[in-house]
């Protein structure tokens, strides 16, 4: 049983990080809160109520929809890819894919949009070669944007899940086989439960990443797919809207609240799934 | 080497560097503490310097100028900057060329008191108005102040229109058989998936103007932008609307062969694209003529106040105005320059053809239109 | 983990270090071994198509010149473009500083959570996921408002120069601070996964029993075992810094991604070429670092 002195001493080790986050992240966020609740110089909740109505509400729901879809799809596909890479015999392949994932997880914005426009846009290479345009194909909708968002989400999932897959010791696989388990049974009763904390963490990471992305959507679909980050960008760095900054800050607060909800669901799940691992 | 010594050394290094970075602001003003500096910051005309030559002298002493959001191929700003540098020997730092008007206002506020704050601003007219209301600009009247038409400058000199243009339809004649000439043409089925704006109308000024122009073409008015929104809704339903943000890259790729943008930008693109296999044609739609000006202003806390004022004098001299004309923009002094013959006739002839004279919406009409757009655009095009 | 049942063939080596190359599957499953290989091949092939085709399409755009066919001019123009070297060096420097600071802050916290303060785990989880859902735009709006306090309210306090100093365009510390916040989620998860894989509790208890002080345990026992997790966290952070452009652009600092965006306005082919090129060099850089790390690991 650890003595309380050691326990309190360990807490100090986390102090620099906490102090840093409070100052560098917390202070700007407090400023954000201040701006959210200010309308023309006076304290008011008008910005929040405005941010939850009409076009803004549609945008918020649209963002949640696409982020959830990308998180789940990316989670599943990323895990399969990670497993394929981890179980491969070629170490070079593993290194190449992992480093490429690190690079592609941060690839976004206009270059990513252009790459996909050049591929599957109305005059894209694949579209013209396969004659997809005649069948009514369009990249510029919810599903097209999902396809593009997966481009940086799957690598992110791979990066998150590979360390956990590495932790799946081959001895467990062999032990399961020796006890007569099929591959499916191994995964269902041993593999997936062990991986669940990492999988959940990855899915949450993917949700957050897709939720706060905007430059790609701006370059590719504009307002045809309603997204809350586009609305925030319109108000904070645009050439058209003036004086809407505080509504944008209110929208950001809404985003944080949505994230809070996701965390509220994720944390108990994570704790329960990791309990038997300790 | 014990960990304790290492820790102590690290702590010492960090503490000394942190202390070195502390310190109160210097009591003297930023950007020159001589009396000449403080005079320059409050000068409202060249007379306050004792004449244009004294202004040139003071500016040369400052030696530098910070500009922001001036793309080199926008109204020929590249050449304007080079000409100014060559004429006065003042080095220009052109920051954030792709910035928006909001970015400029943000830079003024965030970089206040720093040496790299922008000296001069080129803003959308609505932003110039709101910036003046917030007290961000230093009033200054250039020597040709009286020649700027009424209604195109702020009475106290906080901002003044510089150049403008019409919304036009640009079209790649190599990829499109018959180029559309009017807004009504854009709805034709020949243009499926081809018509694009340079961004969202809720974010990009030219796109907003495009919707306003579409409204004028469809029985709307400056008071009513809804027909414009409905037009684009129809365009989307037809399948003609391409939501991609039109850029030189997407045009060259062939993804956005038809775009709506300011005519001076389209004309600049025509030159740039001719070597890339694109035959860019421009037409100002006769059914929806919408023109708008941008505005100049001087940062109240400009680090180089004399150079900033000299820049304005340069821009509003025939030399500066003709350089803008060379960029296919319509400079604000064009009417008076055409009268006294200082306008470059060849360049005037190059401007895209338009009938009649433009009328402009009032700030209230523009604000109302923006509100309508902000709440209605998303629903209209995401159908 | 020597507790294997005797029926297992001796091909398996006990106590495998996670992440090392597998020693191969038992011989009796050669028939079923073919199935995973096919499945793996299909997955890898699909992934290759999905990830490579858009990049190839971009590349094709950059080398196609009308009337001339193939030409690599766009790539040649990258190096002569103004600002290429300076912005790249700045981004690399920011990356290194961010990596150092992130590891310094996160490693002790991750170890503390595992060893002595499990109650801190939810706190750290929240802290390390929050930066992901606050869009960079909003974060920058907050940061720039705070920076504005300098000239507006703090002009007569020592903090004024601090605020100016962190915005020094030659090496903006404010960007390092912002990037550390952005990198926290990835670094923390990477380190946490690594700590989980090495059974840090046993290791540290053993070391403490042998009389090591806590700093000694951290520096000489835990860190050497965490090399691959730390390397992973470092690569992620470096890739993040080299790819992040919203914050740099809104605060007007000339980082490499910001420079790429700047020249995209005027020259279409060169700008796309720069993106493709920067992807390539980032990847090669990470690959070089990771193979160097692997060689060091296997050599030591």
CA distance B53 to chain A (A): 37
| Predicted confidence (pLDDT) per residue in A201-229, tens digit | 889 889 988 998 888 998 899 889 999 99
DSSP 3-state helix, strand, coil percentages of chain B (rounded to 5)? 45, 15, 40
Question: Which strand (E) or helix (H) includes residue B102?
Answer: helix B101-110
Q: Is the pLDDT of residue B258 over 60?
A: yes
Over its C-alpha atoms, chain B yields an Rg (Å, rounded) of 24
Distance CA B68, CA B95 (A): 5
Q: What percent of chain C is predicted at pLDDT more than 70?
A: 82
Cβ-Cβ contacts under 8 Å between A and C: the total is 277
| Predicted confidence (pLDDT) per residue in B177-226, tens digit | 999 999 999 999 999 999 999 888 988 889 999 999 999 999 998 999 99
Cross-strand bridge partners of residue B259: B170, B196
By C-alpha distance, the chain C residue nearest B249 is C268
* Contact state of A54 with B127 under an 8 Å Cβ cutoff: no
b/e burial code for range C261-282 (CB count within 10 A of at least 16 → b):
bbbbbbbbbbbbbbbbbbbeeb
Q: Is the pLDDT of residue C228 over 70?
A: yes
* Contact state of A7 with C116 under an 8 Å Cβ cutoff: yes
CA distance C235 to chain B (A): 24
**pLDDT for C53:** 94
The pLDDT-based confidence of C13 (bands split at 50, 70, 90) is very low
Q: Is the pLDDT of residue A153 over 80?
A: yes
Q: What percent of chain A is predicted at pLDDT more than 90?
A: 27
* Contact state of A238 with B100 under an 8 Å Cβ cutoff: yes
By C-alpha distance, the chain A residue nearest C51 is A151
* Contact state of B22 with C158 under an 8 Å Cβ cutoff: yes
- Tell me which chain B residues have a C-beta less than 8 angstroms from the C-beta of C152: 112
CA distance C261 to chain B (A): 8
**pLDDT for A210:** 92
* Contact state of A221 with B243 under an 8 Å Cβ cutoff: yes
3-class SS letters over A58-117: HHHHHHHHHHHHHHHHHHHHHHHHHHHHHCCCCHHHHHHHHHHHHHHCCCCHHHHHHHHH
b/e burial code for range C38-50 (CB count within 10 A of at least 16 → b):
eebeebbeebeee
Among partner residues A124, A133, A234, which is closest to B202 by beta-carbon distance? A234
Neighbour tally for B187: CB within 10 Å = 16
Residue B107 sits at the chain C interface (C-beta within 8 Å): yes
**pLDDT for A253:** 87
The pLDDT-based confidence of B4 (bands split at 50, 70, 90) is low
Distance CA A156, CA A151 (A): 9
**pLDDT for B17:** 60
Tell me the CA distances in angstroms from A117 to A124, B90, B339, C57, one per residue in order: 6, 43, 49, 9
* Contact state of B382 with A226 under an 8 Å Cβ cutoff: yes
Nearest partner of B294 among B270, B319, B262, judged by Cα? B262
| Predicted confidence (pLDDT) per residue in C28-82, tens digit | 444 455 666 788 889 999 999 999 999 999 998 888 776 667 777 778 887 777 7
By C-alpha distance, the chain A residue nearest B257 is A123
* Contacts (Cβ under 8 Å, ≥6 apart) of C176: C94, C97, C98, C101
ipTM, 2 decimals? 0.86
Q: Is the pLDDT of residue A80 over 90?
A: yes
CA distance B223 to chain C (A): 33
- Tell me which chain B residues have a C-beta less than 8 angstroms from the C-beta of A121: 244, 253, 255
* Contact state of C61 with A16 under an 8 Å Cβ cutoff: no
Mean pLDDT across C189-209:
83
**pLDDT for B24:** 55
CA distance A95 to chain C (A): 7
Q: Is the pLDDT of residue B134 over 70?
A: yes
Contact B240, B190 (CB under 8 A): no
DSSP 3-state assignment of B370? helix
- Tell me which chain A residues have a C-beta less than 8 angstroms from the C-beta of B253: 114, 117-118, 121, 123
| Predicted confidence (pLDDT) per residue in B264-277, tens digit | 999 888 888 888 88
**pLDDT for C101:** 95
CA distance C224 to chain A (A): 17
The token duo for A10 is: 């360990």
- Tell me which chain B residues have a C-beta less than 8 angstroms from the C-beta of C64: none
More confident residue, A53 or C34: A53
* Contact state of B370 with A236 under an 8 Å Cβ cutoff: no
The token duo for B381 is: 């095009």
- Chains that contact C by 3+ CB pairs under 8 Å? A, B
What part of B 117-176 touches C (C-beta under 8 Å)? none
**pLDDT for A265:** 84
More confident residue, B319 or A260: B319
The token duo for A202 is: 């990855």
* Contact state of C286 with A104 under an 8 Å Cβ cutoff: no
Mean pLDDT across A59-71:
95
Q: Is the pLDDT of residue B57 over 80?
A: yes
Alpha helices in A125-191 (DSSP H): 125-130, 142-166, 170-178, 183-186
Interface probe with B: pick from A128, A221, A222, A244, most Cβ of B within 10 Å = A222
Mean pLDDT across C95-102:
95
Long-range contacts from B12-19, C-beta under 8 angstroms, 24+ separation: B18/C162
More confident residue, C89 or B271: C89
- Tell me which chain A residues have a C-beta less than 8 angstroms from the C-beta of C246: 215
* Contacts (Cβ under 8 Å, ≥6 apart) of B67: B81, B92, B93, B94, B95, B118, B119, B120, B311
* Contact state of C132 with A14 under an 8 Å Cβ cutoff: no
Q: Within its chain, how far is the Cα of B182 from the centroid?
A: 25
DSSP for B143-212 reads TTGGGSPTTSB-TTSS-EEEEEEEEEEEEETTT-SS---SHHHHTSGGGTTTEEESS-TTT-HHHHHHHH
* E-state strands within B223-289: 258-262, 280-283
Residue A128 sits at the chain B interface (C-beta within 8 Å): no
Cβ-Cβ contacts under 8 Å between B and C: the total is 93
| Predicted confidence (pLDDT) per residue in C139-194, tens digit | 888 888 888 776 777 766 777 777 777 777 788 889 999 999 999 988 888 888 78
**pLDDT for C242:** 86
- Tell me which chain B residues have a C-beta less than 8 angstroms from the C-beta of A238: 100, 102, 202-204
| Predicted confidence (pLDDT) per residue in B276-293, tens digit | 888 999 999 988 889 999
Q: Is the pLDDT of residue B31 over 80?
A: no
Nearest partner of A214 among A96, A71, A63, judged by Cα? A63
**Phi-psi category of residue B254: left, alpha or beta, with phi > 0 → left and psi -120 to 50 → alpha:** left
| Predicted confidence (pLDDT) per residue in A3-52, tens digit | 555 556 677 788 889 899 999 998 988 888 888 888 777 888 888 888 88
What's chain B's length in residues?
383
The pLDDT-based confidence of B303 (bands split at 50, 70, 90) is very high
The token duo for C254 is: 């000339």
Contact C58, A120 (CB under 8 A): no
Residue B11 sits at the chain A interface (C-beta within 8 Å): no
């Amino acid at each position: 049983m650890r003595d309380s002195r050691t326990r309190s001493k360990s807490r100090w080790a986390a102090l620099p990080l906490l102090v840093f986050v409070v100052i560098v992240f917390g202070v700007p966020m407090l400023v954000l809160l201040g701006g959210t609740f200010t309308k023309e110089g006076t304290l008011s909740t008008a910005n929040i109520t405005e941010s939850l109505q009409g076009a803004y509400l549609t945008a918020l729901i649209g963002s949640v929809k696409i982020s959830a879809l990308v998180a789940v799809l990316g989670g599943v596909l990323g895990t399969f890819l990670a497993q394929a890479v981890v179980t491969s015999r070629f170490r070079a392949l593993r290194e190449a894919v992992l480093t490429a994932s690190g690079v592609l997880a941060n690839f976004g914005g206009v270059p990513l949009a252009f790459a996909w426009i050049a591929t599957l846009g109305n005059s894209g290479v694949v579209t013209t070669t396969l004659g997809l345009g005649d069948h009514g194909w369009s990249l510029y909708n919810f599903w097209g944007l999902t396809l593009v968002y997966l481009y940086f989400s799957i690598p992110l999932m791979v990066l998150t899940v590979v360390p956990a897959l590495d932790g799946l010791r081959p001895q467990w696989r062999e032990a399961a086989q020796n006890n007569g388990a099929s591959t499916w049974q191994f995964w269902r009763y041993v593999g997936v439960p062990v991986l669940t904390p990492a999988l959940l963490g990855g899915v949450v990471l993917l949700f957050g990443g897709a939720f706060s992305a905007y430059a790609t959507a701006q370059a590719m679909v504009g307002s045809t797919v309603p997204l809350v980050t586009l609305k925030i960008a319109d108000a904070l760095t645009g050439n058209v809207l003036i004086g809407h900054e505080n509504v944008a800050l209110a929208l950001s607060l809404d985003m944080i609240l949505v994230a809070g909800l996701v965390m509220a669901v994720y944390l108990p799940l994570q704790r329960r799934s990791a309990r038997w691992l300790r | 080497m014990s960990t304790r010594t290492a820790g102590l050394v690290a702590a010492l290094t960090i503490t000394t560097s942190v202390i070195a970075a502390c310190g109160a602001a210097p009591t003297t003003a930023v950007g020159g503490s001589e009396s000449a500096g403080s005079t320059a910051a409050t000068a409202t005309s060249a007379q306050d310097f004792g004449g244009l030559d004294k202004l040139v002298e003071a500016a040369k002493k400052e030696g530098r100028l910070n500009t922001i959001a001036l793309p080199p191929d926008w109204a020929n700003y590249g050449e304007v900057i080079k000409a100014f540098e060559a004429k006065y020997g003042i080095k220009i730092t052109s920051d954030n060329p792709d910035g928006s008007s909001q970015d400029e206002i943000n830079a003024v506020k965030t970089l206040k008191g720093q040496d790299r704050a922008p000296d001069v601003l080129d803003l959308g007219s609505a932003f110039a108005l709101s910036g003046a209301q917030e007290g961000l600009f230093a009033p200054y009247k250039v020597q040709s102040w009286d020649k700027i038409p009424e209604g195109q400058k702020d009475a106290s000199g906080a901002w003044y229109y510089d150049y403008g243009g019409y919304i036009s339809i640009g079209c790649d004649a190599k990829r499109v058989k018959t180029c559309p000439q009017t807004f009504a043409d854009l709805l034709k089925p020949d243009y499926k998936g081809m018509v694009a704006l340079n961004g969202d109308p809720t974010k990009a000024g030219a796109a907003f103007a495009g919707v306003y122009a579409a409204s004028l073409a469809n029985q709307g008015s400056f008071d009513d932008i809804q027909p414009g929104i409905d037009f684009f809704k129809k365009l989307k339903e037809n399948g003609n609307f391409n939501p991609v943000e039109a850029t030189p890259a997407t045009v060259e790729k062939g993804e956005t062969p038809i775009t709506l943008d300011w005519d001076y930008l389209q004309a600049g693109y025509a030159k740039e694209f001719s070597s890339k296999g694109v035959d860019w044609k421009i037409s100002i739609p006769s059914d929806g003529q919408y023109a708008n000006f941008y505005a100049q202003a001087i940062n109240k806390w400009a680090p180089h106040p004399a150079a900033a004022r000299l820049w304005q004098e340069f821009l509003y001299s025939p030399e500066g105005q003709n350089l803008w004309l060379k960029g296919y923009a319509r400079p604000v002094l064009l009417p008076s320059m055409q009268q006294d013959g200082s306008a470059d006739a060849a360049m005037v002839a190059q401007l895209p053809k338009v009938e009649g004279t433009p009328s402009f919406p009032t700030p209230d009409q523009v604000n109302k239109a923006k509100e309508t757009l902000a709440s209605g655009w998303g629903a209209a095009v995401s159908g | 983990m020597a507790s294997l049942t005797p029926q297992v063939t001796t091909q398996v080596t006990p106590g495998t270090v996670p992440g090392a190359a597998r020693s191969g599957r038992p011989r009796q499953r050669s028939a079923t071994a073919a199935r995973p290989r096919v499945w793996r091949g299909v997955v890898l092939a699909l992934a290759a198509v999905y990830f490579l085709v858009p990049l190839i399409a971009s590349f094709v755009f950059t080398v196609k010149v009308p009337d001339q066919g193939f030409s690599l001019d766009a790539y040649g123009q990258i190096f002569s473009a103004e600002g290429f070297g300076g912005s790249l060096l700045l981004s690399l420097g920011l990356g290194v500083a961010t990596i150092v600071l992130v590891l310094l802050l996160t490693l002790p916290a991750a170890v503390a959570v595992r060893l002595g303060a499990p109650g801190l785990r939810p706190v750290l989880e929240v802290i390390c996921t929050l930066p992901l859902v606050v869009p960079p735009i909003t974060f920058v709006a907050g940061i720039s408002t705070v920076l504005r306090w300098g000239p507006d309210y703090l002009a007569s306090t020592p903090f004024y120069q601090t605020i100016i100093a962190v915005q020094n365009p030659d090496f903006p510390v404010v960007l390092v601070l912002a990037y550390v916040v952005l990198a926290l989620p990835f670094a923390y998860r990477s380190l946490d996964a690594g700590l989980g894989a090495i059974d840090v509790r046993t290791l540290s208890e053993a070391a403490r029993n042998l009389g090591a002080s806590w700093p000694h345990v951290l520096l000489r026992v835990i860190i050497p075992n965490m090399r691959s997790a730390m390397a992973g966290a470092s690569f992620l952070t470096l890739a993040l810094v080299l790819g992040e452009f919203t914050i740099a652009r809104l605060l007007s600092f000339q980082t490499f991604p910001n420079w790429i965006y700047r020249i995209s306005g005027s020259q279409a082919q060169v700008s796309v070429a720069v993106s493709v090129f920067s992807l390539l060099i980032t990847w090669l850089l990470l690959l070089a670092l990771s193979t160097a790390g692997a060689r060091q690991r296997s050599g030591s």
